[in-house]
């Protein structure tokens, strides 16, 4: 009697393991299939976002359509590597002459990294544009760094930056911080000051 009891218990346990295995197997297969079929689209989307950000930082107007945007990107932006091997971008004028540079950089936000794209003029000081490609800041507060008024205010300014409260007048080295998002704003400020300091050394090689 106790022997058959034991046997059915073992059977039950085996069934449990087997069941979990099967469910997991099916789930993972389904997800892998979906992942593989969409992988290319996702990579492409990421690339498009990045190219748009670089054009924005270079202050070159990007058309809505992907193909036209990529065409302009190909004509006006050239990827180069600095002595450390990390890439940055040369911005070319319509006649092919060098107009400025675009750098990728990372700042510290409240919740995580703020990945950004910073464009400078040929003088290596004047900012042509700033865009943010990845940030996990609080929606409605820190995440407002993606709003146009915030990004646009950097064009034509040069460091080293300090902050003034939202909606106040700014000098050539000041920008309006976001109310309620001091840590995020400070992170952006420090990131910009750092990259502006680094740019000359990275280009000289």
Residue numbers of the site for another protein (CB under 8 A)?
A: 12, 15-16, 19-20, 23-24, 27, 30-31, 34-35, 38, 41-42, 45-46, 48-49, 134-136, 138-141, 143, 146, 179-180
Of the pair 116, 135, the CB lying nearest another protein is at: 135
* Cα–Cα distance for residue pair 53/151, rounded to 1 Å: 11
62 by Cβ neighbours in 10 Å (0-12 / 13-18 / 19+) ranks as buried
What is the nearest approach in angstroms of another protein to the Cβ of residue 137? 9
Of the pair 26, 172, the CB lying nearest another protein is at: 26
* Cα–Cα distance for residue pair 91/79, rounded to 1 Å: 9
What is the nearest approach in angstroms of another protein to the Cβ of residue 173? 27
What is the nearest approach in angstroms of another protein to the Cβ of residue 143? 8
What is the nearest approach in angstroms of another protein to the Cβ of residue 131? 12
Of the pair 21, 197, the CB lying nearest another protein is at: 21
Backbone phi, psi, residue 45, to 5°: -60, -45
CA-wise closest residue to 105 among 156, 142, 158, 54: 54
106 contacts: CB under 8 Å, gap ≥ 6 = 113, 114, 115, 116, 191
Cis previous bond, 149, omega within 30: no
Of the pair 13, 78, the CB lying nearest another protein is at: 13
Of the pair 143, 188, the CB lying nearest another protein is at: 143
Residue 2 token pair: 């106790």
What phi-psi label fits residue 44: left (phi over 0), alpha (psi between -120 and 50 degrees) or beta?
alpha
What is the nearest approach in angstroms of another protein to the Cβ of residue 46? 8
What is the nearest approach in angstroms of another protein to the Cβ of residue 200? 32
Of the pair 122, 151, the CB lying nearest another protein is at: 151
């Amino acid at each position: 009697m106790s022997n058959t009891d034991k046997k059915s218990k073992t059977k039950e346990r085996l069934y449990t393991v087997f069941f979990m295995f099967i469910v997991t197997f099916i789930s993972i297969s389904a997800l892998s299939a979906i992942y593989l079929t969409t992988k290319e689209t996702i990579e492409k989307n990421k690339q498009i976002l990045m190219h748009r950000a670089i054009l924005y930082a270079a202050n070159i107007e990007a058309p809505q359509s992907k193909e036209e945007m990529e065409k302009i990107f190909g004509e006006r932006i050239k990827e180069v590597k600095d002595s450390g091997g990390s890439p940055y971008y040369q911005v070319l004028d319509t006649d092919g002459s060098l107009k400025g540079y675009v750098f990728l950089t990372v700042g510290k936000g409240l919740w995580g990294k703020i990945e950004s794209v910073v464009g400078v003029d040929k003088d290596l000081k004047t900012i042509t544009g700033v865009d943010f490609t990845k940030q996990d800041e609080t929606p409605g507060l820190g995440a407002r760094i993606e709003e146009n008024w915030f990004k646009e205010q950097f064009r034509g300014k040069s460091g080293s930056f300090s902050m003034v409260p939202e909606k106040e007048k700014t000098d050539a080295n000041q920008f309006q911080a976001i109310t309620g998002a001091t840590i995020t704003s400070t992170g952006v400020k420090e990131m910009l000051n750092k990259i502006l300091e680094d740019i000359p050394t990275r280009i000289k090689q």
